[in-house]
Amino acid sequence: MRSLSYTGYVAATLALRAAAQSYDTIPPIEVHGQHFFYTNNGSQFYMKGVAYQQNYSPNGTASANASYTDPLADASTCSRDIPYLKQLYTNVIRVYAIDPTLNHDDCMEQLASADIYVVADLGEPGTSIQSNDPEWDVTLYKRYTSVVDTLSKYKNVIGFFAGNENVSSDNQTSAAAFVKAAVRDTKSYISSQGYRTTLGVGYATADVPARNDLAAYFACEPADSGNSTAIDFWGYNVYSWCGNSSYSDSSYGERVEFFRDYPVPVFFAEYGCIVGIDGGPTHRPFTEVEVLYGNMTDVFSGGIVYEYFMGANDYGLVSIDGDSVSPYPDFTSLRNQLASIDPTITQSSAYTPSNTPPACPTVGSDWEAEASPLPPSVNPQLCACAVSDLECNIESTDEEKYADVFNYICAADSKYCDGIAHNATTGTYGTYGGCDAKDQLAWAANQYYIGNSRSSSACDFSGLATIQKAATASGCASLLSAAGTEGTGTVPSPTGRGTAAVGTGSPAASSSSKGVAPGMATPGLFDYGGVVFGVYVVIAMVSMVGMFAL
């Protein structure tokens, strides 16, 4: 069916803007125990949400060539779509990537006027924690904190996802350690900047074999660390209810029982199966809505339907043609289902949380991430300090050539690479493992140079490296002292503004960098314990032959 005219859009938008709410006055949503609540009156908040980002497929990978359109930076698009979102009783949207250099005031004001909140993912296509090659480094830290800086002022932002479906199989579970480190550092950053305490940080998982261990891992707190590393909420991307399924056939009941004792809110971060639907993908009946907002509400806090825009994957609720919006039949089905729900509302004053953090999973054949320690906090200033203090530095920015040098140095003596090690399975991390690839290589090259009596030939590597005069910059002495000469010490978390933090000694690189140390972020000696040392040495020794010939 066709939409209202564009004049109708404008009129509806103006009516919404006439409401009293703005992003300054809308009551923030807070986490209290296993539920969300409005901060102004203590009423429970259930998510009635829609995923809102066009032509974007979040899947735990990174592509430096991928582009995206910020859904919160185009005021006219927001004006066009908000009346339709309100037809779906929407009170929250999920956005997967925003551009922190753009202005979001207009869209966020429109959303607030319509009583719509936002949950935002922190990554973007070229900068995210990869499933098969995970890191938590300076580039990612700056991306994440810049999104926090940009959205923190809007009181209709509930919080952020530090990762989405980063673990989709048992051999990717080590990636969870790097996502949890991102959760910890993002929470710490929010606190250090004095941003709202109601801003939460969570994780969204697919319905994967490791889901139970994942849920326990992200909510557990080893060594009485308070809630500094635990997620604030858990998003579940679930597509098991297809067509006219049931509570039992969809396994919704099993999920309710599993999360009954979970310590933080749980909600469907994505739902809306299109498989086997009579009439095709655009005819979803959304019969799960009655159950999600019925007998599941004592555990689940609602959900977010995937998705508003029609794309190549056929999940869209509407078709867009310029200023024209054409809802599909499942738009009507969803609207009608949501119109009929009446979930029980609890007041925060009448609710006393009793659930406690679960036990952390242990490393075994199906779980590869040690609970403690996590990768060290990323400190951009430390990386910059270290590079200026080196006697042998990497000059080349050709990351394609880094791998052989990493292999050569680390195989020559593993101690040269202790400072950049990151092994999630053993919990072995170097202080500089969070620096970008060029700075990690510079650290290792300097260790090799010192270990070889500072011979000029020990700082060349086919012209990639150069000897420089070491200089301890102002404010660096204490950081370098804490890191130690072997690069295995503990350095304080940064306290400065993420987007204005001291830069690294090299230009920012994509988290999908091909130059990262082999064996540092791929199976090998210094990675996740998946490959024996001998295999690593064979690879490295081949590179050593080439290096000796240079």
Please tell me whether residues 135 and 71 are part of one structural domain.
Answer: yes
Q: Is residue 479 part of a domain?
A: yes
Beta-carbon contacts of residue 525 (< 8 Å; ≥ 6 apart): 410, 414, 519, 531, 533, 536, 537
| Residues ≥6 apart with Cβ < 8 Å to 549 | none
Q: Which of 464, 483, 502 is the last residue of a domain?
A: 483
Domain that holds residue 298: 29-350
Amino acid at 106: D
Buried b (16+ CB within 10 A) or exposed e, 514-538: ebbbbbbbbbbbbbbbeeeeeebbe
Q: State the DSSP code for 284.
A: -
536 or 298, which is more confident = 298
Determine the Cα–Cα distance for residues 470 and 465; give it in Å rounded to an integer.
14
Q: What is the mean pLDDT of residues 193-222?
A: 95
User: Residues with Cβ < 8 Å from 136, sequence gap 6 or more?
Assistant: 129, 178, 179, 181, 182, 185, 375, 378, 434
Q: What is the pLDDT of residue 520?
A: 43
CATH of the domain at 176: 3.20.20.80
Q: Last residue of a domain, which of 449, 483, 517?
A: 483
Q: Are residues 104 and 230 in the same domain?
A: yes
DSSP class of residue 283?
G
* Cβ-Cβ contacts under 8 Å for 487 (sequence gap 6 or more): 418, 419, 420, 430, 431, 432, 443, 447
Are residues 273 and 317 both part of a single domain? yes
Tell me, what's the pLDDT at 294?
96
Which of the four pLDDT bands, split at 50, 70 and 90, describes residue 4? very low
**Which three-class secondary structure state does DSSP give residue 429?**
strand
Confidence grade of residue 55 (pLDDT, cut at 50, 70, 90): confident
Q: Which residues pair with 127 in a beta bridge?
A: 124
What rounded mean pLDDT belongs to the chain?
A: 87
* Predicted confidence band of residue 385 (pLDDT cuts 50, 70, 90): very high
- The reply to whether 387 and 330 lie within a common domain is no
Q: Are residues 420 and 310 in the same domain?
A: no
SS3 106: helix
78 Cβ contact list (under 8 Å, min separation 6): 72, 106, 107, 110, 111
Closest to 464 (Cα-Cα) out of 504, 409, 518, 386:
409
CA distance 281 to 442: 52
Average pLDDT, stretch 457-485?
94
- Please, what is the Cα angle at 501 between 499 and 504, to 5 degrees? 110
Sign of the C-alpha dihedral computed for residues 434, 227, 125 and 164 taken in this order = positive
pLDDT in tens, 145-196: 999 999 999 999 999 999 999 998 888 999 999 999 999 999 999 999 999 9
**156 lies in the same domain as 228:** yes
Any domain includes 528 = no
- Assess whether 327 and 188 both reside in one domain: yes
Q: Does a structural domain hold residue 460?
A: yes
Report pLDDT for 67: 81
The CATH number assigned to the domain holding 411 equals 1.20.58.1040
* Stretch 93-110: mean pLDDT: 97
Task: Identify whether 527 is part of a domain.
Answer: no
Q: Is the residue at 235 inside a domain? A: yes
With 90 as the cut, is the pLDDT of residue 65 above it?
A: no
The mean pLDDT of 19-42, rounded to a whole number, is 93
Where in 122-262 does DSSP place strands (E)? 157-164, 200-206, 233-238
Higher local confidence (pLDDT), 226 or 379: 379
Neighbours of 432 (CB within 10 A): 28
What proportions of the chain, in percent to the nearest 5, are helix, strand and coil? 35, 15, 50
Please tell me whether residues 340 and 406 are part of one structural domain: no
pTM assigned to the model: 0.88
Determine the Cα–Cα distance for residues 337 and 151; give it in Å rounded to an integer. Answer: 32
Q: Do 355 and 262 touch, CB atoms closer than 8 A?
A: yes
For residue 507, pLDDT over 50 is answered with no
Q: Would strands 47-51 and 92-95 be described as parallel, antiparallel, or unpaired?
A: parallel
Active site residues: 165, 270
Give the Cα separation of 503 and 379 in Å (integer).
10
CA distances from 119 to 12, 37, 91, 99 (A): 24, 15, 11, 15
Check if the beta carbon of residue 375 is closer than 8 Å to that of residue 178.
Answer: yes
Taken in order 157, 293, 335, 340, the sign of the CA dihedral is: negative
Percent of the chain topping pLDDT 70:
84
The number of domains in the chain is 2
With respect to residue 365, please indicate whether it lies within any of the assigned structural domains: no
Within this chain, do residues 410 and 276 fall inside the same structural domain, yes or no?
no
Does 368 reside within a domain?
Answer: no
Residues 317 and 219 in one domain: yes
How many other C-beta atoms can be found within 10 angstroms of the C-beta atom of residue 363?
18
- Interval 288-300 mean pLDDT: 97
Residue 222 confidence (pLDDT): 80
Side-by-side strand order, sheet with 29-32: 29-32, 35-38, 44-45
- Establish whether the linkage from the previous residue to 376 is cis, with ω within 30° of 0: no
- Which distant-in-sequence residues (6+ apart) come within 8 Å of 486 by Cβ? 415, 418, 419
Residue type, 471: A
Q: Quick check: 460 and 471 in contact, CB under 8 A? A: no
pLDDT of 493: 84
Q: What angle do CA 300, 302, 307 make, to 5 degrees?
A: 135
**Structure confidence by residue, pLDDT tens digits, 395-431:** 999 988 999 999 999 999 999 999 999 999 999 999 9
Q: Is 542 helix (H, G, I), strand (E, B) or coil?
A: helix
∠ CA 299-302-308, nearest 5°, is 155
For residue 116, pLDDT over 60 is answered with yes
In a domain, 121, yes or no: yes
Do residue 464 and residue 338 come from a single domain? no
Residue 268's H or E segment, with its range, is: strand 266-271
Residues 429 and 340 in one domain: no
